[in-house]
Amino acid sequence: MNTASSETALSLIQSLETRMVANPFSPSVARLASLYLDEDRFEDARVLCEEGIARYPDYATAHLVLGQCYLGLQRMSDARREFCEALNLQPQCELARTLLREMTPTTTVDLPMETAVAEDWVQVSPKHSADEIVTPTLAEIYADQGAYQEAIRTYKLLVHRKPEERERFGQRIRQLEEIWRLLTPPS
Amino acid sequence: MVLILYFFALLTLLLFGVQGFVMVYYHFKNRNEEETADPALLVFPPVTVQLPIYNEIYVVERLIKAACRIEYPKENLEIQVLDDSTDETTTVVARIVEEMVACGFDIKHIQRGTREGYKAGALREGLKTARGEFIAIFDADFVPREDFLRRTMPYFFLDEKIGMVQTRWEHLNTEYSLLTRAQAMALDGHFVIEQAVRNRAGFFINFNGTGGIWRKACIEDAGNWHDDTLTEDLDLSYRAQLRGWRFKFLRNVTSPAELPSEINALKTQQFRWTKGAIETAKKILPLVWRSNLPLRIKLQSTFHLTNNVVFPFILLAGILNVPLVYVKNHGGYETYFALMSIFVVAFIGSLLFYTFSQKEIYPDWRRRLFLFPLFMAGSMGFAVNNTKAVIEGLISKKREFVRTPKYAIEKKGDAWTNKKYVPTRLSFTSLIEFLLALYCFFGVLSSLYFSEIAAVPFQLLFCLGFGFVSFLSFKHAWTARQLRVIRDK
């Protein structure tokens, strides 16, 4: 970055900062945060985005920028979560999709699965007998780890064991499958 | 005579009950200290994750894969599976390790061919070749979270005298049974209040054996793992802190684990912790008192290391309760009521302690508190088992490190019954517990007969506690035996 453009960036940052102070509810958080990002000020950007999202939880761009802050801070699972949220709010957001796809192979252990994800989600391989571990807590731990297949399988086992919760778990399974499909490059 | 003994027992319980108030006091005193947001991790030095295992075929795959998913630059993350297994677990480990190596992980399968020194021996062996400057340890029943290193490591860089960072244990299968719910309550009390309070007030805390991370230099400086007590974690923690290292407890960072769902397994675990703490107290307390630490730290360390001494006194109080009803009705021992009220004070101390620990971490703490009487009864029911441990600890009886079998069970309807590590031998203590349940039932009837209504609640708790613990011990051992017969056919 040459000096001239960095100076303009700085003055832009300053003017946006002034605007934020004058109006803390200003939706320009995402813009200011992405300027911080360009300067590698990840922590400043993160704090700003988190505050912005607390005010406007459905602000897709803020989620996208926050995801990039986390990437810069090496907080992979948090980054992954924010990109997913951005996509959830704005399915056509190509940048979120690309970033998500790029980070996944390096951060997750890909596990071979007996059942394809797309199959009926109540169907569970008989190999997983009655005594395998299953709680929503565990499923979410797997999801945080980026092990979506494990998470989906755990939820499937849960549905199997607690049919009365089928609706709630089923909804989560569909969300996770959605992410999983996004991440798997078409063969 | 009975009165004097009883008075002494109650006095001891009161002493430790008051400790509950002290903890709650410090909890509120330091509560307003701002919890700082997670500091960011900016450097990534080599870390070794040690996974000590011994015959853990049901959970080992989950453990190793979760360890591999911890977020950290792959080239600086080393994983050591310290495998002392004597069964087919070894084959399973070998297969998974091979799989993970193929995925590009630096993971090693380390077998010693001996169980010398048990867990301490295995950790020491791993440390010889560990390339990490920091050593994280997870037992087989844990599922490390992916952000474990990201959230614990920064503290080592904030203060170079920090030697160990411990996370709070979270429970994967709290709702499995009354037994697991009671255990969750006990552990939460230890972590949420005791560890947090001790840490903030500057008292010594302990590494909980798993779910924590050490600075390698600290382990070495403190003299490495010793195997002369059953609780090598507590022992090393004290030796390190006596050398001036500081520990950090993180209440908001958790490491999820499975609770033992089978009572005879829980008994061996409690036995080990109790006996080990007494052994450590014998070994370490003289060093603590000879050091030039402030008096309050010396006192708190003494309480910390000896709090299992309550069990013999709980047992004593439970036994003496019954004759006392008769003593009182044979002549004017009006002091009896005064003594009873002392017991109530100890009870309230304990109640407050657990109430605030539940309130701190669960939004539905009110519902959880209904379990408190059962939890109390349970602690009383464990008095026989743990008294035996205290006595063995005091007379230094050597005993094998009996690890707690884990079965990968996390919810109701799962079964440990078809697993192969279930203990089948019924110990003599269960019989004693059963007899004590009958005895206390007789006590309840006597109190009712003499209209000593004030004595009834505690006697009832004792009766239920012994009854519950012995009934479950018989039931679980019987089921296990039946299954073994079927399997052997």
Interval A2-27: pLDDT, tens:
555 667 777 777 777 777 777 766 77
Q: pLDDT: is A1 or B118 the higher one?
A: B118
Q: Which of B41, B59, B62, B71 has the highest number of chain A CBs within 10 A, making it the mutation to test binding with A?
A: B71
Predicted complex ipTM: 0.82
Residues 53-112 of chain A whose Cβ lies under 8 A from any Cβ of chain B: 73-78, 106-111
Minimal Cβ distance to A131: which of B66, B175, B415: B415
Partner residue opposite B150 with nearest CB, options A75, A108, A132: A75
Q: What is the predicted pLDDT for the residue at B436? A: 92
CA-nearest residue of chain A to B415? A131
**Yes or no, beta carbons of A131 and B419 under 8 Å apart:** yes
Helical (H) or strand (E) element with B185 = helix B178-188
**CA–CA dist A41, B167 (Å, integer):** 29
Q: Which residue is listed with tokens 């001790």?
A: B198
Q: State how far the Cα of B192 lies from the Cα of A59, in Å rounded to an integer.
A: 35
Mean predicted lDDT score pLDDT of chain A: 77
Q: Which residue has the tokens 């390790």?
A: B97
**Phi and psi dihedrals of B109, rounded to 5?**
-100, 105
Residue bearing the bigger pLDDT, B120 or A186 = B120
**Listed range (A79-83, A86-90, A135-139, B403-407) with the worst mean pLDDT:** B403-407
CATH code for residues A3-103: 1.25.40.10
Amino acid type, B14: L
Contacts of B170 in chain A (CB under 8 A): 137
Buried b (16+ CB within 10 A) or exposed e, B283-292: bbbeebeeee
- Specify the pLDDT at position A126: 41
**Contact residues, chain A, for B41 at CB < 8 Å:** 73-74
Q: Find the catalytic residue in B84, B141, B188, B235.
A: B84
Q: Which of B83, B139, B188, B233 is catalytic?
A: B233
A14 touches chain B (CB under 8 A): no
Distance from CA of A59 to the nearest CA of B (A): 23
**What is B343-387 written as a DSSP string?**
HHHHHHHHHHHHHHHHHHH-TTHHHHHTTHHHHHHHHHHTHHHHH
Q: Which residues of chain B lie closer than 8 angstroms to A159, CB-CB?
A: none
**Pair B13, B301: CB distance under 8 Å:** no
Amino acid code (one letter) for B125: E
Contact A130 B172 (CB under 8 A): no
What is the structure's pLDDT at A113? 42
Tell which wins on pLDDT, A33 or B343.
A33
Chain B residues within 8 A (CB-CB) of chain A?
40-41, 44, 58-59, 62, 65-66, 68-69, 71, 74, 100, 103, 105, 143, 145-147, 150, 170, 172-173, 175, 256, 258, 407-411, 413-416, 418-419
The answer to whether residue B87 is catalytic is no
Low-confidence ranges of chain B (pLDDT < 70): 32-37, 331-340, 397-426, 487-489
How many contacts does A have with B, using Cβ atoms within 8 A?
A: 84
Evaluate whether A130 touches B416 at the Cβ level (below 8 Å).
Answer: no
CA distance B297 to B141: 33
A137 touches chain B (CB under 8 A): yes
- Give the start-to-end residue ranges of the domains of chain A: 3-103, 119-183
Chain B residue with minimum CA distance to A154: B410
pLDDT at A118 over 80: no
More confident residue, A176 or B329: A176
Q: CA-CA distance, B132 to B76, in Å (whole number)?
A: 8
Q: Which residues contact A120 (CB under 8 A, 6 or more apart)?
A: none
CA distance A89 to A60: 6
CA distance B338 to B11: 12
Neighbours of A43 (CB within 10 A): 16
Predicted confidence (pLDDT) per residue in A95-117, tens digit: 888 888 776 544 444 444 433 33
**Which residue would you say has higher pLDDT here, B342 or A51?**
A51
Residue of A78, A104, A135, A144 for testing the chain B interface, max B β-carbons within 10 Å: A135
Q: Which of A50, A77, A109 to mutate to test the interface with B (most CBs of B within 10 A)?
A: A109
The predicted structure's pLDDT at residue A106: 40
Q: Is the pLDDT of residue A129 over 80?
A: no
Do residues B358 and B370 touch, judged by C-beta distance below 8 A?
no
